[in-house]
Amino acid sequence: MLQSKEVEEAVSLFRTDYVFTYRDLGLPPESSGNVIRKLNRMAKSGVIKRLSKGRFYKPKRTMFGDLKPTQEEIVKDLLEKEGQVVGYLTGISIFGQLGLTTQISNIIEIGVNGKKNNTRRGVFTIRFVQQANIINKSNIPLLQLLDSIKKIKHIPDSTPDISYNRIKSIVKSLDEKSIDLIIKLSMKYTPMTRAILGAIMEDLYGEEKALTLRDSLNPITIYKVGLTKKVLNTKIFRIV
């Protein structure tokens, strides 16, 4: 019979923050029942924390209390399967990483190809957002940036002007290959997203770089974003 000490030793090898299930312990499958019971006892005693049914982690302990794992760690199994990327973080958690907001949320948004039903994991609500472009490791940062442009009017603790300037500074840091790719990826986003990206391209690189984006839009549509003339410098895009 599997000894409790074996489970404790296997758990001790995990780093703090690492979310695991009984399968990650590498113990004999026929002992799964005993392993799960032992993990539940360890969680009850406070040695580890239970994130959600069958999922545990070793908390990082600080003078201010135990810390939860990162959102990426919490949903890692929803981002990659068998070495293949199947989703990416987006929404408020990414807005924070990009310097667009300081707000945190218990809603974790994941961009995916196709449709998936929202779910819960512990205190977190997991919301799936459909992405029309194929998702791969190399284009995820650009998709996250486009998602931020798409939501520019709804980024918490910010204004469209502040968000626009921050996004423009990120776009300015991209290399030429990434610039061409983000324009291509934007063709599967909303017209307003393309208009804002086009205005940024025009401001940074001139009208010629923005023509593909302009030509993809209805020439008589005005996009109401809430941007002021203080930050907006465009002659070919109808944005207010």
Q: What is the pLDDT of residues 66-82, one digit of tens each?
A: 888 999 999 999 999 98
CA distances from residue 189 to 63, 70, 203, 204 in whole angstroms, order as listed: 45, 28, 20, 21
Q: Quick one: pLDDT at residue 63? A: 86
pTM here is 0.90
Q: Quick one: pLDDT at residue 30? A: 82
Locate the DSSP E strands across the chain.
19-20, 49-52, 55-57, 60-62, 65-67, 80-81, 84-85, 88-90, 107-112, 119-121, 124-130
Q: What is the DSSP string of 94-157?
A: HHHHTTS-----SEEEEEESS----EEETTEEEEEEE-SSPP-TTTHHHHHHHHHHHTGGG-TT
Task: Give 31-68 pLDDT, tens digit per residue.
Answer: 888 899 999 999 999 999 999 989 999 999 888 888 88
Torsional sign, CA 162, 128, 118, 106: negative
Q: For the chain, which residues score pLDDT lower than 70?
A: 1-2
* Parallel/antiparallel/unpaired status of strands 119-121 and 124-130: antiparallel
